[in-house]
Amino acid sequence: MATDDIYILGISMTKFGKHADKDIVDLGAEAAMAALRDGGVSMRDMGILAAGNLMGAGGYGQQLQKQIGQTGIPVYNVSNACATGATALRTAIMAVKSGEVRMGLAVGAEKLAGAGLLGGGGQGKKDSNKWEPKGRYGAVAPTDGRIGTDTMPGTFAQVGMEYGHKYGGVSFELFARISEKNHAHSTLNPMAAYQKRFTLEEIMGDMMIAYPNTRPMCSANCDGAAAAVVTSGEVLKTLSAEQRRRAIKVSASVLTTDPYQEACQILPDVNTLTRNAATIAYEQAGVSPSDLDLVELHDCFATAELVHYDNLMLCPEGGAVDFFMSGAPWRDGKTPVNVSGGLQSKGHPISATGIANIWEICHHLRGEAGDRQIKDAKVGLAHVIGLGSACGVHILERSAA
Amino acid sequence: MSTAQQIPLVSYLHLTPSPRLVANECTSCGARFFDRRNACAGCFQTEFRPVDIPTTGVLKAFTIVAFAAPGVPVPFVAGIVDCGGTSVRGNVINTDPTPEKVSLGMKLRLATYSLGTDDEGVEAIGFGFEPA
């Protein structure tokens, strides 16, 4: 192992779902303690804490330290939409890579069970008795629902439909089949919020949220946390044989934002920044998409999963529909995608997601994934995207040690 | 009616002499924005000029929103319309909000409607796109 390589030494996630009796500090503490234990280290070894939480009041990292150990190390409180967890991890990685610290802890936690619809500003307030222009667009009344939609299911529905307009081949049924796959995968994952297999008919017949996304085609709002301990190859050399054996190499760690494209301020462009992040990641890791044994990508909605097959270059440009229909992204296919069940069934506690998907990959690379183990997995990719936008891509490899 | 005072839903909707959307176009690279920019997001230059957006276009993405925030009437069709190379956000109106009536690639034209009149007799005018 090269001294400047980065390794995940310990990693953990809580079960995703409803945790009515736990707050974000409890959840984050549970994940953090388990990650430290998994890595055979303690808070005393940590040089930095990067703490991700989106919906809370702020200062999350300091609250977490008081729950698990206050050693005076710097805390970086991270908030970066749905890429918050990946950003926290990347923050810890950068600190280790810079040589300033030997080990870092990244945590992401969220309480989202029962949160309902996200993103819609709505028209809850009664229109004023006087039309007065307000805000950046000089709007005299709320625009959500009058000029398009601000809701997440509606936004990502359009992302999938735009792909269909460009390349053809999409349909309500196609998107429902993607959801069918992820729900089927979830039945093997005890950490998932939902482990129910749905038939295609059940998915298409469920409550419509934003055509073509029905309820089971939307990510599940739930509670959860995930945490990871990272270190350098130089430090790993000094650790035990067992720690070296289970350490997972971070072959690429990339964070991007959306570069200007026509229409990107009309409908968020989730494509260009993902393709950019993937391009850089494959280059950094020296692997190609065909080398990947499994992929966890950001299927916040069934319509989103389709476009990321293409953005992550798992298929030729414009070939996402054919890629899916070939069976490739099923767990017994050429490139298994979201064998955890994905956000649609595993759940999406926003800030935990970007570390939990890395936990999933690590679990397979360590050969510890039980019933859902992808046999002999050596290389995996984890992807998240948050609107605004931010994209995190990590490529992980089984330790050679 | 023609004498009634009107105000657009958003400032980039211009009502006279005929309804149209007006963008701020970067004089350097041609990028178009419906709100103000200190510098162009594409090329960082700082000069802009107002340009009229074509009032006809093609539907390049849509969703039929069935579940929205409180107060938003559903269902409705939210879409992205390619108006001669400029993407515009708007609802597809004056047609049934069903997959049978709304399709990718359909031709649309700008249409306006009344949001109602305030206490001072001013009528707010919104816009959408209807089948052309």
Over residues B15-47, the pLDDT tens digits come to: 999 999 999 999 999 999 999 999 999 999 999
Residues A45-66 have pLDDT tens digits of: 999 999 999 998 889 999 999 9
Answer whether A187's CB lies under 8 Å from A229's CB.
no
Which residue is closest to B97 within chain A, CA to CA?
A211
Q: What is the pLDDT of residue A186?
A: 98
Answer whether A371's CB lies under 8 Å from A188's CB.
yes
Question: Which residue in the set A122, A145, A209 is minimally distant from B76, CB to CB?
Answer: A145
Structural domain including A362 reads 6-113+220-398
Task: Determine if residue A122 is left, alpha or beta; phi over 0 gives left, psi from -120 to 50 gives alpha, anything else beta.
Answer: left
A302 within a domain of the structure (yes/no): yes
Give exposure, A260-297, as e/b (b: 16+ Cβ within 10 Å): eeebbbbbbbbbbbbbbbbbbbbeebebeeebbbbbbb
Q: Show residues of chain A in contact with B108, CB under 8 Å.
A: none
Question: Which residue in the set A138, A209, A267 is minimally distant from B11, CB to CB?
Answer: A138
Residues A165-207 have pLDDT tens digits of: 999 999 999 999 999 999 999 999 999 999 999 999 999 999 9
pLDDT tops 80 at residue B10: yes
Count of structural domains within chain A:
1
A199 within a domain of the structure (yes/no): no
**Domain CATH number, residue A20:** 3.40.47.10
Q: Show residues of chain B in contact with A148, CB under 8 Å.
A: 78-80, 89-91
- Give the number of A-B residue pairs with CB atoms closer than 8 Å: 175
Q: Show residues of chain B in contact with A266, CB under 8 Å.
A: 80, 87-89
A304 within a domain of the structure (yes/no): yes
Q: What is the pLDDT of residue A125?
A: 52
Which residue is closest to A212 within chain B, CA to CA?
B63
A155 within a domain of the structure (yes/no): no
DSSP A206: S
**Distance to chain A for B76, nearest Cα, Å:** 7
A392 within a domain of the structure (yes/no): yes
pLDDT tops 70 at residue A127: no
A129 within a domain of the structure (yes/no): no
Q: Show residues of chain A in contact with B99, CB under 8 Å.
A: 172, 211-212
pLDDT tops 50 at residue A373: yes
Question: Which residue in the set B10, B61, B69 is minimally distant from A144, CB to CB?
Answer: B69
Task: Indicate if ipTM > 0.85.
Answer: yes
Residues A146-172 have pLDDT tens digits of: 999 999 999 999 999 999 999 999 999
Which residue is closest to B126 within chain A, CA to CA?
A146
Mapping DSSP onto H, E and C, the string for A230-290 reads EEEHHHHCCCCHHHHHHCEEEEEEEEEECCCCCCCCCCCCCCHHHHHHHHHHHHHHCCCHH
Q: Show residues of chain A in contact with B44, CB under 8 Å.
A: none
Instruction: Give dist(CA A169, CA A393) in Å, integer.
Output: 27
